Amino acid sequence: MTGRFTVVGVGPGDPELITLKAARLVGAAAVVAYHAGVGKQSHARRIAGPLIPPGAIEEELRYPVTTGTTDHPGGYVGALAEFYEACALRLAAHLDAGRDVVLLAEGDPLFYGSSMYLHDRFKGVYDTEVVPGVPAFAAATAAIAEPLVRQTDVLTVLPGTLPEPELARRLADTDAAIIMKLGRTFPAVRSALAQAGRLEGAWYVERASQADERWLPVADVDPGSVPYFSLIVLPGDTGHRPGAARLRERRYEPVERASTSRPPAAELLVVGLGPGPGAWLTPEATAALEEVDHVVGYGPYVARVPQREGLTRHASGNTVEVERARLALDLAQAGERVAVVSGGDAGVFGMAAAVFEAAEDPAYADVRVRVLPGVSAVQAVAARAGAPIGADFAVVSLSDRLKPWAVVERRLRAIAEADLVLAIYNPASRSRTGQVATAQRVLLEHRKPDTVVVVGRDVGRAEESLAVTTLGELDPSTIDMKCLLIVGAESTRVSPAGVWTPRFVEGAG
């Protein structure tokens, strides 16, 4: 009979916050294990020490490194992996001998806890259990006595080790937040809060629930005094910021401007962000996004705009284009500087048309709409392939959400008969899986099977791939929503240099 391995959460520091179940298991343990930092006493051992029975075997698992550098050939990750493996062997010897092992974990074991790495190694091999504990952020929230979330607030838990721009973006996009892992990351975290416009109202809590607990506004904290056992609580408030859903319910009240001069004429910018890489964002678009107060768009596109102080983000789903445009127009009409963002070029199956559709409402007659162009997806794929759109070409979306499929087929036949190069957007989605095969059949009625086809997927991103095939060999099952297809004309060629379509047509001139 092997022993039972139990990970027990002992809470954030106050021994009275240990659960009854955790206290019972620790008090009956044959072996009690706990982690300890370099040159430090175990915090978990200090919390649960009075509960450990006199005859219990204690196993101190002391880290070889916690911060800084290491000469381990695998670096920090390699050193920790080797450490956890050695710990597992030590504890497995007790389990194999039939002794129950209780591993103490500060806070909650599965919330940024080191104990999870041993649990991962033991589950499925031994009889295991995890006993939850009061997490540090719950004690910190109780210390400041402010509701963390209420009603429809969204809570986000963030490690302070995230890159500063990413941290700022996520802070701007949530109602409430907990930021863990401070210490040396505190200056960047404070800067991210300021960029997100969330510094005011953010609380710093140190050693929550312990005798030397303290809390104060993040803005008042000395960066040099921040220990590891600290975190930031950003309480949520449904009325804190004008989210997109709430702005649809009421007229937006603009903030008062410092200047007393006449406000500029209402203007709404529609900005194409390009296919993805920052290098493909135009200088004009970059400059515009640095000046606006509000960014409105589909969530993944809004996420690509760097967060900064004074910028409010309004992200929404993928099928509410006109509603999104009306929100942006309302903001612009109220005197705010607003940009609607769109992937690729906003005028190519992007938000520009939706904005002009919404702007036809006479209520927005005094709002000027200005579109800033971006690199389109078809340009990006074509450039990667060579020059397949070097001659006349057409662009079609296979999505039938806004037009009947019969219209799509009619346009495909006309393009095929005209022998134009064809760029296909939105070839497939989770709910549209048969259109590519149908389009292939329609095109083959007028094109030869050896017609060149370029398939670009995630072009410009880390997962980018490019394939060159033929219309007859194209496998529709390999096409998804991340793809863009370019179907060549009869003259399109594949050469060692790439795929290209001649500019000349026989009989010209």
What pLDDT, in 10s, does the model give residues 294-320? 999 998 899 999 998 889 989 888 778
Instruction: For the chain, give every residue range classified as CATH 3.30.950.10.
Output: 138-234, 378-500
- What gap in Å lies between CA 136 and CA 115, rounded to an integer? 16
* Distance from the first to the final alpha carbon of the chain: 92
Sequence-ordered list of residues with C-beta below 8 angstroms from that of 40, at least 6 positions apart, any chain: none
Residue 39 is given by DSSP the state T
What sign for the dihedral angle of Cα 146, 148, 152, 154?
A: positive
User: In terms of pLDDT, which residue wins out, 400 or 268?
Assistant: 268
315 CB contacts (<8 Å, ≥6 apart)?
173, 244, 297, 298, 299, 302, 303
Tokens of 341: 């963002």
pLDDT-derived band at 255, boundaries 50, 70, 90: very low
Residue 438: its H or E element: helix 435-444
Q: Where in the chain is the domain with CATH 3.40.1010.10?
A: 4-134, 264-372
DSSP string, 116-131: HHHHHHHBTTBEEEEE
| Across 470-474, average pLDDT | 96
Contacts of 504 by beta carbon, 8 Å cutoff, 6+ apart: none
Instruction: List, in sequence order, the alpha helices (H) in 360-404.
Output: 377-385
> Strand pairing partners for 123?
126
Give dist(CA 31, CA 357) in Å, integer. 70
Mean pLDDT of the 356-374 span: 95
Report the CATH fold assignment for 264-372: Cobalt-precorrin-4 Transmethylase; domain 1 (3.40.1010)
pTM given for the model = 0.71
Domain 138-234 belongs to what topology?
A: 3.30.950
Tell me the mean pLDDT in the region 338-344: 96
pLDDT digits (tens, 9 = 90+) for 137-189: 999 999 999 899 988 889 999 999 999 989 998 998 889 999 999 989 999 99
> Is residue 507 pLDDT above 60, yes or no?
yes
User: Hunting for tokens 């070409």 — which residue is that?
Assistant: 393
Q: Is pLDDT at 277 greater than 60 in this prediction? A: yes
Q: What is the mean pLDDT of residues 9-30?
A: 96
Structure-token pair, residue 107: 């806070």
Q: Answer whether 155's CB lies under 8 Å from 170's CB.
A: no
Homologous superfamily (CATH) for 4-134: Tetrapyrrole methylase, N-terminal domain (3.40.1010.10)
The pLDDT of residue 22? 97
Judged by DSSP in three states, 255 sits in coil
Q: How confident is the model at residue 242 (pLDDT cuts 50, 70, 90)?
A: very low
Q: How far apart are CA 425 and CA 408, in angstroms?
A: 12
Q: What's the mean pLDDT in 481-498?
A: 95
Mean pLDDT of the chain: 90
**What is the average per-residue pLDDT within 68-75?**
79
Cβ neighbours of residue 233 closer than 8 Å, sequence gap 6 or more: 137, 140, 141, 144, 146, 148, 178, 202, 203, 205
Q: Sheet holding 493-495: strands in order across?
A: 386-387, 498-500, 493-495
**Strands across the sheet with 101-105, in order?**
57-62, 31-36, 101-105, 4-9, 127-131
Kindly tell me if the per-residue pLDDT of 256 is higher than 90: no
Say whether pLDDT at 253 is over 50: no
Q: Which CATH superfamily is domain 378-500 in?
A: Tetrapyrrole methylase, C-terminal domain (3.30.950.10)
